Amino acid sequence: MSVPSSTILPRSNLISDDADEMPDFDGAAEILRAWGAGLTPDADLTVSQWADRHRMLSGRASAEPGRYRTARTPYMAEIMDRLSPGDPAQRIVFMKAAQVAGATHFLWSRADAHEVLDVLVIDEAAQMSLANVLAVAQSAKALILLGDPQQLDQPMQGTHPDGTGVSALEHVLSGAHTISDDEGLFLEETWRLHPEICRFNSELFYDDKLHSVEGCELQEIRGGGSLAGTGLRFLPVEHSGNQNSSFEEADAVAGLVEEVLSGEPTWIDREGQENPLTLEDILIIAPYNAQVFEIQQRLPGARVGTVDKFQGQEAPIAIYSMATSSHADAPRGMEFLYSANRFNVAISRAKCVAVLVASPRVFEAECRTPRQMQLANAFCRYLELSQSIKRR
């Protein structure tokens, strides 16, 4: 086995220990200075100190072009210095700041907005028509549709050709309740619903994919009379000939609320904390403004409104008063009264207990088409899973 050998090269005449033997030609001094600077160790600077000395911001990348100043963003100093070679940190989690802008589709559909964004997030995409989404899509290199097609549809005014009211997300789903794994991401956890309520909404509207996060099973009503505990309740109220308001149901709702709030009731949240149950902790929902007015007259100060008003809100108890006596009395037809989307929103406002107040004849709809059977199905299933309570 051969042993590698090294060759000693003769010392360069360019560098000498004797100052008298320094090279004498044009540029020699500059070469020596550059050579010496190259051998000089870098200054022991933190990242923020280096940035203050050397970093320059362009006019395109910054609203304040020129020399970077850590003092302008002091909260960044420690983050930057953790990236310094001398810092003892072994693991660094870095979250980069981003510019975020929000606007309606009128701005992002303009010609001068073409690809000005890296990512465009369309919130409530289940309420935005495909035409509007296509118009704004040109403003970004990537598009994210965020929304729930099983909740409220987009508001419609006027008369439009069939299909134009279908949202962008509904086009993607093609009639399915939830999105497939190869097309998108379904957020399968709810941080609101008790598992008994979630089970109903998940089965009827989300293909049994939705489940409650850990802790929601702790939520319950204590000392709330007929609403003590958790889950679904049904309060039948006999009436006839009512279309968009029912004083019978309004009286029943007022009586139920008064019963629940008597005796200092409490409710348990998902952290296991016990809280006083007050009028503020009860949502009362109705499909029609006329019924909202009837209930407000009996419960001043209560949180009463239509489904549209309460989407996105929550409470320990949610009460849904249907007002209409039967399917034949529905002033806006079965599509509105039995809307699965609106029913889903109403019931899923409740953390602990959901209550449906309705005439028993609502569940006796004479369905003549598959669509009408589909509309009535959710209400019939609710009746099967719920506990019936008596009017007091």
Residue-level pLDDT at 4: 45
- φ/ψ of 149, rounded to 5, equals -65, -10
Entry field: residues in the chain: 392
Contact 357, 321 (CB under 8 A): yes
DSSP track, 69-136: -GGGSGGGHHHHHTTSTT---S--------------HHHHTSGGGTT-EEEEEEETGGGSBHHHHHHH
Lowest mean pLDDT among 26-30, 34-38, 90-94, 112-116: 90-94
More confident residue, 164 or 326: 326
Which range is least confidently modeled, 4-18, 177-191, 346-360, 374-388? Answer: 4-18
Residue 63 in this model has a pLDDT that exceeds 80: no
Q: Residue 201, exposed/middle/buried by CB under 10 A (0-12, 13-18, 19+)?
A: buried
Please report the pLDDT score of residue 212 as a whole number.
97
* Per-residue pLDDT at 69: 87
Q: How far is CA 287 from the centre of its chain?
A: 24
Instruction: Provide the token pair at 110.
Output: 């303009």
Mean pLDDT of the region 281-305: 96
Which tokens go with 5? 């050998």
CA separation for the pair 204, 182 (Å, rounded): 23
The residues pairing with 232 across neighbouring beta strands, listed in sequence order, are 354
Measured between its terminal Cα atoms, the distance across the chain in Å is 104
33-52 average pLDDT score = 84
- Once rounded to an integer, what is the mean pLDDT over residues 82-97? 72
> For the residues 119-135, what does the mean pLDDT come to?
86
Closest CA to 128 of 143, 142, 140, 113: 143
Q: Which pLDDT band holds residue 158 (cuts at 50, 70, 90)?
A: low
Backbone angle region of 299, left / alpha / beta, with phi > 0 → left and psi within -120 to 50 → alpha:
beta
> What is the DSSP track for 120-187?
EEEETGGGSBHHHHHHHHTTEEEEEEE--TTSPPPP--S---TTTT-BHHHHHHTT-SS--TTT----
DSSP H/E element including 197 = helix 195-205
Q: Which residues contact 64 (CB under 8 A, 6 or more apart)?
A: 57, 72
Q: What is the mean pLDDT of residues 298-307?
A: 95
pLDDT of the residue at 21: 59
Share of the chain above pLDDT 90, in %: 46
pLDDT of residue 37: 78
Q: What rounded mean pLDDT belongs to the chain? A: 86
111-139 mean pLDDT: 87
Q: Identify the top-confidence range among 331-335, 373-377, 383-387.
A: 383-387
Least confident segment among 90-94, 95-99, 196-200, 264-268:
95-99
Q: Per-residue confidence at 95, pLDDT binned at 50, 70, 90?
A: low
Between 78 and 99, the higher pLDDT residue: 78
pLDDT reported for residue 9: 43
How far apart are the C-alpha atoms of 28 and 11, rounded to whole Å?
Answer: 17
Residue 80 has pLDDT above 70, yes or no: yes
Residue 345: per-residue pLDDT: 95
pLDDT at 226 exceeding the cut of 80 = yes
Tell me: pLDDT of 370 over 70. Answer: yes
Does 5 have pLDDT greater than 50?
no
215 or 66, higher pLDDT: 215
Residues 172 and 130: their CA atoms lie apart, in Å, by 10
pLDDT digits (tens, 9 = 90+) for 242-268: 999 999 999 999 999 999 999 899 999
Provide the pLDDT confidence category of residue 26 given band limits of 50, 70 and 90: confident
C-alpha of 40 from chain center: 55
For residue 14, pLDDT over 50 is answered with no
- Give the pLDDT mean for 7-34: 62
- Concatenating the DSSP letter of every residue in 240-269 gives -S-SS--HHHHHHHHHHHHHHHTT--EEE-
List CB contacts of 49: < 8 A, sequence separation 6 or more.
none
Structure confidence at residue 170 (pLDDT): 86
- pLDDT category, 357, cuts 50, 70, 90? very high
**Exposed/middle/buried for 385, CB within 10 Å: 0-12, 13-18, 19+?**
middle
Model confidence at 349, pLDDT cuts 50, 70, 90, reads very high
